[in-house]
Amino acid sequence: MAERNPTKPEADGRLRVVIESVTPRVDGGRFPAKRVEGENVVVEADCFADGHDVLRARLLLRAEDDKQWREAEMTALGNDRWRGSFVAGPPGRYRFAVCAWVDHFESWRNELVRREDPEDIRIAALVGADLIRGTAGRASGADRKRLEDWSAVLRAKAPADSLKAAALDEALAAVAARYPDRSLTTCTAEMPLEIDRTLAAFGAWYELFPRSASTAPGRHGTFKDVEKRLPYVAKLGFDVLYLPPIHPIGREKRKGRNNTLVTKPGDVGSPWAIGSAEGGHLAVHPDLGTPADFRRLVAKAKEHGIEIALDIAYQCAPDHPWVKEHPAWFRSRPDGTVQYAENPPKKYQDIYPFDFESKDWRALWEALKGVIDFWIGEGVRIFRVDNPHTKSFAFWGWMIPEVKRSHPEVIFLAEAFTRPRVMHRLAKLGFSQSYTYFTWRNTRAELTEYFTELSRGPGRDYFRPNVWPNTPDILPESLQYGGRAMAVSRVVLASTLAASYGIYGPAFELMDNRARVPGAEEYLDSEKYELRHWDLKRPESLGPIIAMLNRIRRENPALHGNGSLRFLPTDNEQVLCYSKSTADGSNQVVVAVNLDPHNPHTCWIDLDLEALGLEPGRAFQMHDLLTGARYLWNGPRNFLRLDPAHSPAHIFLVRRHVHREQDFDYFL
């Protein structure tokens, strides 16, 4: 911890207070902790001094570009721990610090209470008179007068009893407390704090390929087609509509259907092979429409309460204009060709990665940031970043804060399916959200361990999970073989375990479960390489269930965060049960999911009645928000049956008994 360095006698050696273990704090204050607008931000610290004097501690807060600190009193929790809080302001970078000092005035009162010897009390009154005179010197007006008078009273000759009573006057003490002597105050270093808008922490995402949005099979979809799809997405209840790259697609080395090396006429290529003669990262694919069409889509989406998120893939097709304009940004091979992406023996000849060890890295960084700046100019505020873990950390650590300095409302989602340390580093460097391992966590033990780590582990202050049952790259085995029940349970889990989740549609809601080859996790006839046409009206669509889940999420603030997640014991390994609640306990949700898509399961679950604020011995209602059914439960141990043929999950709203037994409205 970083109070002013006390190891040098040149520093103010009279500072007696030590401040340690400040939370929230990421890597000792090297990176900002993250919170959202309007959230109550709780800061704690160990504050203590030698001896037994009373301390006072304050929490200081300022916006990064503001010189003025706001201050909030901290309170002692016991065992030298102190706590203060403030309500997070608008999005931006903030700094906070903790300051504490020995409160000689309160120490004096504290000792005086325990003094018994009259002579002792008389001397203590004189000590207090001096302290209060000093306090008066920091006050003005009426307060100053009151304190001066008080000091005089304590200096007067009087019986010890009446001196003690005068010295312990509560009202005058409250006045004095407003003018503390802070001449010997210890302060921590300033800690960074990032406030995001709510959507950075709580949101439902829907991904679709614009080129497959056409209403006519075989016709290349356009931004206008996506516009027509907006009511559908809005009806499903999604907050974010995320589009894969919308730029011109390279023609050189273009991949054919199902990722083949040879293209046939009409093959559209992968949108992630960015750039052609028509332009690069700042252009839109001519077949999708014009820049004006795109801006119109952004605006129309907003009318539906939906934000458009763009895919940022920092890589180039061989015919991207930058390849010729900036050869220094790529690695060249001894044969004069540009080094394509590879993981031997696999080759990705349609993709040229940037060389972050380039001598021209400054220009490269600026150009890459320029891509974000450009799309911000086009109205986009959410970016889903493709494979950020293959670009240098130093770049992200510079670019994201730079962008957010002017646009604190921007949200970056990191698509890094890689090793844990790497994913965490990206989150620390500034990514607002991160993809997770949810897609491959299926059993009760796996889900419990992973979501306990996500909600309460070391990443809780900076790593915000955004969980996806599927993506265009990943059709997990669960969805290949689990049928409808599995799809339902996966989206119930995603939408209730995590405050942010997403699906890749319409593949998800239409339950496309065909893998390219058995054992692969890739979609057959993937939209990554061809146009697809989806019949959204198919009766088996999961659309209505998803719409209900998104409505439940919006209506229940317990589901807006991750920190309150607690897993509940059940006696059947196939049933996962967990609860979430708001900080004040006013909204409490209990979810139970049958993880086995093939068989009905029963179990006993154990509720923590005290944590739920329920009175033992008094019935309470479990209102299943999925089916509307209401169950009257009594006591902590209750029986459940979950049949995947009907619904593999319950999402219970806990309705507490209210004391109006005569009323019809028996439960809130």
Residues serving a catalytic function are: 386, 415
DSSP one-letter code for 27: G
CA-only gyration radius of the chain, Å: 31
Return the exposure string of 91-107: e unless at least 16 CB atoms fall within 10 Å of the residue's CB, then b. bbbbbbbbbbbbbbbbb
Q: Does 54 bind a second copy (CB under 8 A)?
A: no
One residue of 89, 397, 613, 636 binding a second copy per CB under 8 A: 397
Element (DSSP H or E) covering residue 136: helix 118-138
562: alpha, beta or left? (left if phi > 0; alpha if psi -120 to 50): alpha
DSSP one-letter code for 383: E
* Nearest to a second copy of 259, 332 (CB atom): 332
One residue of 62, 63, 83, 130 binding a second copy per CB under 8 A: 130
One residue of 46, 267, 446, 522 binding a second copy per CB under 8 A: 46
Q: How far is the CB of 90 from a second copy (least distance, A)?
A: 22
SS (H, E, C) 145-170: HHHHHHHHHHHCCCCHHHHHHHHCCH
Per CB under 8 A, which of residues 9..28 are in contact with a second copy? Answer: 9, 11, 13-16, 18, 20, 27-28
One residue of 343, 517, 662, 664 binding a second copy per CB under 8 A: 343
One residue of 93, 146, 251, 389 binding a second copy per CB under 8 A: 389
* Nearest to a second copy of 264, 359 (CB atom): 359
Q: Does 401 bind a second copy (CB under 8 A)?
A: yes
One residue of 141, 334, 518, 628 binding a second copy per CB under 8 A: 334
Q: How far is the CB of 411 from a second copy (least distance, A)?
A: 19
| Interface segment toward a second copy; rule CB under 8 A; list 121-129, 164-172, 459-467, 593-601 | 121-129
* Nearest to a second copy of 302, 347 (CB atom): 347
Q: How many C-beta atoms lie closer than 10 Å to residue 210's C-beta?
A: 27
- Cα separation of 328 and 325, whole Å? 9
Q: How many C-beta atoms lie closer than 10 Å to residue 153's C-beta?
A: 18
One residue of 69, 376, 393, 516 binding a second copy per CB under 8 A: 393
CB 298 within 8 A of CB 378: yes
Q: Does 370 bind a second copy (CB under 8 A)?
A: no
One residue of 292, 394, 520, 645 binding a second copy per CB under 8 A: 394
One residue of 358, 452, 582, 621 binding a second copy per CB under 8 A: 358
Q: Does 79 bind a second copy (CB under 8 A)?
A: yes
* Nearest to a second copy of 435, 504 (CB atom): 435
Residues with Cβ within 8 Å of 267's Cβ and at least 6 positions away in sequence, in order, are 254, 255, 256, 257, 529, 530
Residue that the structure tokens 């209401």 belong to: 630
Q: Does 76 bind a second copy (CB under 8 A)?
A: no
* Nearest to a second copy of 141, 345 (CB atom): 345
As beta bridge partners, residue 205 has 240, 502
Q: Does 333 bind a second copy (CB under 8 A)?
A: yes
> x/- string (CB under 8 A) for a second copy, residues 403-422?
----------------xxxx
Structure tokens at 263: 């293209």
* Nearest to a second copy of 193, 380 (CB atom): 193
CB 633 within 8 A of CB 621: yes
Q: For the residues of 62-123, what is the DSSP string, one character each? A: EETT--PPEEEE-EEEETTEEEEEEE--SSEEEEEEEEEEE-HHHHHHHHHHH---HHHHHH
Q: Does 390 bind a second copy (CB under 8 A)?
A: yes
| Interface segment toward a second copy; rule CB under 8 A; list 204-212, 246-254, 351-359, 460-468 | 351-359
Q: For the residues of 406-434, what is the DSSP string, one character each? A: H-TT-EEEEE--S-HHHHHHHHHHT-SEE
Q: In what order do the strands lie in the sheet with 649-655?
A: 566-567, 575-581, 588-594, 649-655, 620-624, 630-633
* Nearest to a second copy of 129, 549 (CB atom): 129
- Cα separation of 583 and 558, whole Å? 8
- Cα separation of 660 and 407, whole Å? 50
Q: Does 120 bind a second copy (CB under 8 A)?
A: yes
Per CB under 8 A, which of residues 182..241 are in contact with a second copy? Answer: 184
- What is the binding site for a second copy (CB under 8 A)? 1-2, 6-9, 11, 13-16, 18, 20, 27-28, 30, 46, 48-52, 79-80, 102, 111-112, 114-117, 120, 123, 126-127, 129-130, 184, 333-335, 342-345, 347, 356-358, 361-362, 365, 389-395, 397-398, 401, 419-422, 425
